[in-house]
Amino acid sequence: MADRRGSGPRIAAAAAAIAAASAFGAASALDWPVFPQRIASTFGSPAAGRLVTGVHLASEGGLVKSSGDGELSFHLEEGRHPAGLPTPLGSLVVVEHGKDLAAVYAHLAPGTASTYLDSVQSGAILGRAGSSGWVEGSGALFEVFDRREGHWVNPLLLLPPLADDKPPIIRSLALSRAGTVNIVGTASRLPQGSYILSADIADPADSPWATGPLAPYQIRLAVDGVELTRKVFDVARGSGGELLFFSGEGLPSSALRTPEGRWIVAELLLPRGRISLELRVEDAAGNRRSSAWTVIVE
């Protein structure tokens, strides 16, 4: 198994997220809040009509522990919102880990969330995994928010590497134009023009349930041997009522997936000729898969 932080390009791509852990002095700034780690969603996975800004850990009543030293600054019991509103995250606690890093531990079993506001040490029990709020199964949602930068950080950048050796699966690649979807490899020739390239990607989950298809950590596309785009699920922030994913300007969540659930990789202008396409996908544990295709454009 490869360490996802083991190469220079990946460190550069996730620099903003790693910076959030600078006060801790290491990339693995936090520890897993639930053991064992059975991933039910990854950062960017679809769930309940939106994309996840954390990671769901499946567990039947397991202990949820603090991922690091900090201050337990907030707690909320399902059904007790001050305004009487429903709480999609259910019962939760928030721990301030360091000066600018806040972690949310959500979907706890009712009545188990810690109710004291005091200092906590790494490994302190915060509650039990449950299914409070809007969630597909029993477990806990773990989110990390960088207050200084104003964005959610992919928790898997701050946690010890996953014990996972199963690479993602690339099922197919598609080129879409004017409402027509062409699966690459089945359409022998395509007219020149602008296309939306999307991919059907699956990542095996060692979990009894999942919120939906697990999002990969990184998607890269090379055209005729030259890398055209790289999308890294490192951070997300709210803007104009929508979530923007990826460092820099970011992309709105509505522009990341097709209505059929395929990942939108890039918009391409295809000239006449023979064109090679290579898709490279990496999961949060550093496992990689690549596939290549050739298309004929008339």
Please check whether residues 214 and 271 belong to one and the same domain.
yes
Please check whether residues 146 and 79 belong to one and the same domain.
yes
* 103 found inside a domain: yes
10 Å CB burial of residue 209 (0-12, 13-18, 19+) is middle
Please check whether residues 153 and 192 belong to one and the same domain.
no
* Whether pLDDT at 126 is above 50: yes
Confidence of residue 132 (pLDDT cuts 50, 70, 90): very high
pTM > 0.85: yes
Q: What residue numbers bound the domain in which 236 lies? A: 169-297
Which pLDDT does position 26 carry in this prediction? 43
Which pLDDT does position 11 carry in this prediction? 34
* Whether pLDDT at 23 is above 90: no
What would the pLDDT profile of 179-216 be if each residue is shown by its tens digit? Answer: 899 999 876 689 999 999 999 999 887 899 999 889 99
Confidence of residue 19 (pLDDT cuts 50, 70, 90): very low
Query: Which among 37, 10, 43 has a CA at the least distance from the CA of 212?
Result: 43
User: Most distant CA pair in the chain: distance in Å?
Assistant: 68
Please check whether residues 19 and 149 belong to one and the same domain.
yes
Please check whether residues 231 and 112 belong to one and the same domain.
no
CATH number of domain containing 269: 2.60.40
Which pLDDT does position 249 carry in this prediction? 84
Which pLDDT does position 206 carry in this prediction? 81
Which pLDDT does position 215 carry in this prediction? 94
Q: Average pLDDT for residues 155-180, to the nearest whole number?
A: 92
In sequence order, the 6+-apart residues with CB closer than 8 A to the CB of 59 are 34, 38, 129, 138, 139, 140
What would the pLDDT profile of 227-240 be if each residue is shown by its tens digit? Answer: 999 999 999 999 98
The values of phi and psi at residue 9, to 5°, are -60, -40
Query: How do 288-297 and 189-190 pair as beta strands?
Result: parallel
* Whether pLDDT at 21 is above 70: no
In sequence order, the 6+-apart residues with CB closer than 8 A to the CB of 286 are 1, 2, 3, 4, 6, 161
Please check whether residues 150 and 174 belong to one and the same domain.
no
Please check whether residues 151 and 89 belong to one and the same domain.
yes
Please check whether residues 55 and 151 belong to one and the same domain.
yes
* 109 found inside a domain: yes
Total domains, the chain: 2
Percent of the chain with pLDDT over 90: 70
Q: Which residue has the tokens 């709020």?
A: 133
* Whether pLDDT at 97 is above 50: yes
